[in-house]
Amino acid sequence: MAGKGGEEMALYAIGDLHLHFQSECPSPMQRTQGGWRNHEEVFRRNCAGLLTPEDTLVLLGDHSWGKTLAQCREALDYIAALPGRKILLRGNHDMFWDAGKTAKLNELYRGRLHFLQGNYFTYRDYALVGSKGYCFEGPFYLDKKGRIMGWDPEEEEKAEKIIQRELGRLRASFEAARQDGHNRFIMLLHYPPTSVIEKRSPFTDLAEEYGAHQVIYAHCHGQSRFHDSIEGNFRSIEYHLVSGDYLRWMPRRLLD
């Protein structure tokens, strides 16, 4: 499908903007590491030079440090002003977004932003499905060489409850699309699909069950976290990390 100037429209993704226009930034990494310096303006310029009004940009969570919708107003306005159609997924820091009130957000920002939770959106003949997801992040017990020797079983049990909840939400997104006749999927998560102690997970199994074409995720930012989960082809599905600092604030092109 042709876009502005005869160019083909495309699908892009990025996550973890962590904007803080109306709130304090609690992250020492974000305050001190060079890759985050003036990242809001770097990202804005990159989008202006890359995206056309016909493109779609998916933002995979952790949009703002604000805890309420009022504290996120400027951040959401900033995202809405970027070129193209914008689809937002919930992240673990998106306190402004109650999962049960997604319809209200979609109504409030109708024509400007699209919020993905328990629903789906389309790009060409693909259904974009997703939820926040979750994975167990410890605490882990390490030996002197930094190798994982064990972990807290009580915290693992707590994590499993959240994982099951998020799997249910993600399945609801898949089913909403499938009931409308869609059979090609791109699966979107905020958390990585596997933890550092997993080779596969219920999320990778779900992607395989529905035959997802790609699985896109964020959350892993800071160089030490960039390889916490799957990258590339795994069991015939393409997996891509799109955290903002990993991409150096240049959205990743997923589909032409």
Tens-place pLDDT, residues 38-55 = 899 999 999 999 999 999
User: 148 vs 83, which has greater pLDDT?
Assistant: 83
pLDDT of 222 > 90? The answer is no
What domain range is 211 assigned to? 4-242+250-254
pLDDT the model gives residue 152: 86
pLDDT the model gives residue 256: 77
Structure tokens of 96?
């402004």
**Alpha carbons 244 and 155: distance in angstroms, whole number:** 28
Tens-place pLDDT, residues 142-196 = 888 888 888 888 888 998 999 999 999 999 999 999 999 999 999 999 999 999 8
Q: Domain containing 99 — which CATH number?
A: 3.60.21
pTM for the full predicted model: 0.92
pLDDT the model gives residue 75: 96
pLDDT the model gives residue 250: 98
Check if the beta carbon of residue 203 is closer than 8 Å to that of residue 228. no
Helix (H, G, I), strand (E, B) or coil at 155: helix
Per cent of the chain over pLDDT 90 is: 75
Number of domains into which the chain is organized = 1
Backbone angles phi, psi at 141, to 5 degrees: -105, 120
**Alpha carbons 36 and 222: distance in angstroms, whole number:** 10
- Residue at token pair 């952790």: 62
The answer for 211, left when phi > 0, alpha when psi is -120 to 50, beta otherwise, is: left
pLDDT the model gives residue 30: 67
Strand-strand pairing, 232-234 and 114-116: unpaired
Residue among 196, 188, 211, 169 nearest 60 (CA): 188
